[in-house]
Amino acid sequence: MRWGIVIATKDGKTLFSRNPNGRFIPASNTKLFTTAAAMAELAELDHEAAQHPTTLLLAPRPHGAPDLILRGSGDPTLSDNAACQTDCLKTLADVVSAKRLRRIHAIIADDQLFADERWGDGWSWNNLPTQWGTAVSALTLNDNTAELTVQPGAHPGAHPLPKWSAPDEGLTLVNQALTVPDGKPELSLEKKPGDNRVILTGTLPAGAPVQTLKIGIDDPALSAARHFRSLLREAGIRVQTIQVRHRLTKTAVDTPAADARILATLPAPDLKDDIRHLLKVSQNLHAELLLRRLALVHGNGSVEDGIAERKQALTTLGLPDASFSLYDGSGMSPYNRVTPQTVIQLLRLADRQPWGADWRDDLPLAARDGTLAHRFIGTTVADHLHAKTGTLAATHSLSGYLQTTRGQTLLIAIFANDIPDDLPHPTKILDDLVTAVAEAE
């Protein structure tokens, strides 16, 4: 087990260090780098978002019904949930209905704003079908997950009763779960990458409430088109087929025909609000979309361009460009490496920026919200630590701003890599360390 720790003051004094320049897998501490770069270039990102809204176009054909082009914008909040109030797919369906169109040849799902790079380098294959490792696309809907509700079967021994929340997910469910007399719900979904079969396993007690499970999807643009087709069908509009337009990394965007006209656009997402959300709950997909949005500032929407733009933004702040090697936006890649000292430098540089206070407050607050909501409860650290968590196989990290019992704000960066499988409660070790630092005289 390897430890990397730096405890420092805001003005640059190191109070404690262990292996400060060792290279560690940061896990979701990667999001500190991605979001700091985004905050530094927020004006440019907002401009790009305004230039590329989610758009619905009507494309006439020489003969027969027209096509509808649903062009993605990288909006992480697009939804067709019943409770949706903004960035709603139904808004676009209502526009089509209002035009009194009754037949559509094809819904063309266009996610060419970003290159077709759905997963990060080195991501573990078993994470890909999960909601945490779902595919990335410029045409994102419902966080690129499919939702399954499951209620107990008629009697113990019967299969539970599952139902997809959307009528047309394009997934085949294999139900291997069982209803049992008592106990607690223990259901899971299994899916191999590239396979449309989803296997429901586990047990559900007879008196249990309805359970909701989510699974990642392989082609978000195709899924969004399916959902859009369902909305149009509900409005009495027939759709003959679905097409998808992806873009290879180095190729240009395939623009629609000149006679295609815009029917509607959706408002650009509030990127600052989304940065807060993704930091609080450690939302991997949103971090990956943010990296690709960075790629549009001086590039073509590829991961490579996003990585380059992030590095440029951070080196402009003063972070040495050789001090970190990051291959994705979220921290899912085990290829990522940072040093504890680099994270301390990032925290210190961010604190000096006009946006630094907002960024700090966007981090989870100990014992109160986000991924720290259930940590440090009843300790002196509660309400006094804004920090980003990180968890990956054999890896834990915690970095942020700690206010001590003496009122001093310290910068902390703690990394544990190569954690043995039999080590119980590794997060407790980190938490006890932070608490000891907070209470030290």
Residue 39 lies in a domain: yes
Arithmetic mean of pLDDT, 358-385 = 98
Q: Are strands 103-110 and 67-71 parallel, antiparallel or unpaired?
A: parallel
Give how far Cα 346 sits from Cα of 32, 128, 359, 413, Å.
8, 30, 12, 10
Q: Are residues 243 and 336 in the same domain?
A: no
**pLDDT over 70 at 441, yes or no:** no
Helix axes 220-234, 89-98, angle to 10 degrees: 40
Taking only the tens place, the pLDDT of each residue in 395-405 is 999 999 999 99
3-state secondary structure of 123: coil
The number of distinct structural domains making up the chain is: 3
Res 343: pLDDT: 98
Q: Are residues 368 and 291 in the same domain?
A: yes
Q: Are residues 377 and 296 in the same domain?
A: yes
Q: Are residues 337 and 357 in the same domain?
A: yes
**pLDDT over 70 at 72, yes or no:** yes
HSE of 146, CA atoms in CB hemisphere, 13 A: 32
Q: Are residues 198 and 230 in the same domain?
A: no
Taking only the tens place, the pLDDT of each residue in 337-357 is 999 999 999 999 999 999 999
Q: Are residues 293 and 412 in the same domain?
A: yes
Domain with 84 in it: 51-120+219-265
Arithmetic mean of pLDDT, 118-138 = 95
Residue 125 lies in a domain: no
Q: Do 255 and 122 form a contact (C-beta atoms < 8 A)?
A: no
Side by side, the strands of the sheet bearing 145-151 are 161-164, 145-151, 211-216
Taking only the tens place, the pLDDT of each residue in 215-267 is 999 999 999 999 999 999 999 999 999 999 999 876 766 676 778 899 999 99
3-state secondary structure of 224: helix
318 phi and psi angles, rounded to 5 deg: 125, 5
| Residue at token pair 């040093």 | 339
Q: Of 177, 193, 216, which closes a domain?
A: 216
Taking only the tens place, the pLDDT of each residue in 180-194 is 999 999 999 999 988
Res 315: pLDDT: 97
Q: How far apart are CA 141 and CA 92, in angstroms?
A: 13
Q: Are residues 156 and 279 in the same domain?
A: no
Res 259: pLDDT: 84
6 phi and psi angles, rounded to 5 deg: -140, 130
Res 405: pLDDT: 96
3-state secondary structure of 165: coil
Q: Are residues 429 and 290 in the same domain?
A: yes
**Which H or E element spans position 103?**
strand 103-110
CATH number, domain with residue 9: 3.40.710.10
Q: Are residues 153 and 38 in the same domain?
A: no
Q: Are residues 139 and 244 in the same domain?
A: no
Taking only the tens place, the pLDDT of each residue in 151-204 is 999 999 999 999 999 888 899 999 999 999 999 999 999 999 889 999 999 999
Dihedral sign computed on CA atoms, order 404, 396, 146, 154: negative
Q: How far apart are CA 293 and CA 270, in angstroms?
A: 13
pLDDT-wise least confident of 108-117, 254-263, 287-296: 254-263
Side by side, the strands of the sheet bearing 14-18 are 14-18, 2-9, 409-417, 395-403, 385-392
Res 82: pLDDT: 86
Residue 181 lies in a domain: yes
pTM recorded for the entire structure:
0.96
Residue 304 lies in a domain: yes
Q: Are residues 321 and 410 in the same domain?
A: yes
Give how far Cα 234 sits from Cα of 102, 117, 229, Å.
11, 33, 9
Q: Do 395 and 27 form a contact (C-beta atoms < 8 A)?
A: yes
Q: Of 230, 265, 300, which closes a domain?
A: 265
Q: Of 265, 297, 327, which closes a domain?
A: 265
pLDDT band at 364 (very low <50, low <70, confident <90, very high): very high
Res 169: pLDDT: 87
Residue 126 lies in a domain: no
Helix ranges (H only) for 331-392 are 340-351, 356-362
Arithmetic mean of pLDDT, 103-116 = 97
Count of C-beta atoms within a 10 Å radius of residue 376? 22
CATH number, domain with residue 62: 3.50.80.20
Rounded to 10 degrees, the C-alpha dihedral 396/304/108/273 comes to 50
**pLDDT over 90 at 30, yes or no:** yes
Q: Percentage of the chain with pLDDT > 70?
A: 98
Cβ contacts of 285 within 8 Å, gap of 6 or more = 76, 134, 136, 140, 143, 144, 330
pLDDT band at 213 (very low <50, low <70, confident <90, very high): very high
Residue 281 lies in a domain: yes
Res 334: pLDDT: 97
Q: Are residues 415 and 375 in the same domain?
A: yes
Residue 151 lies in a domain: yes
Residue 127 lies in a domain: no
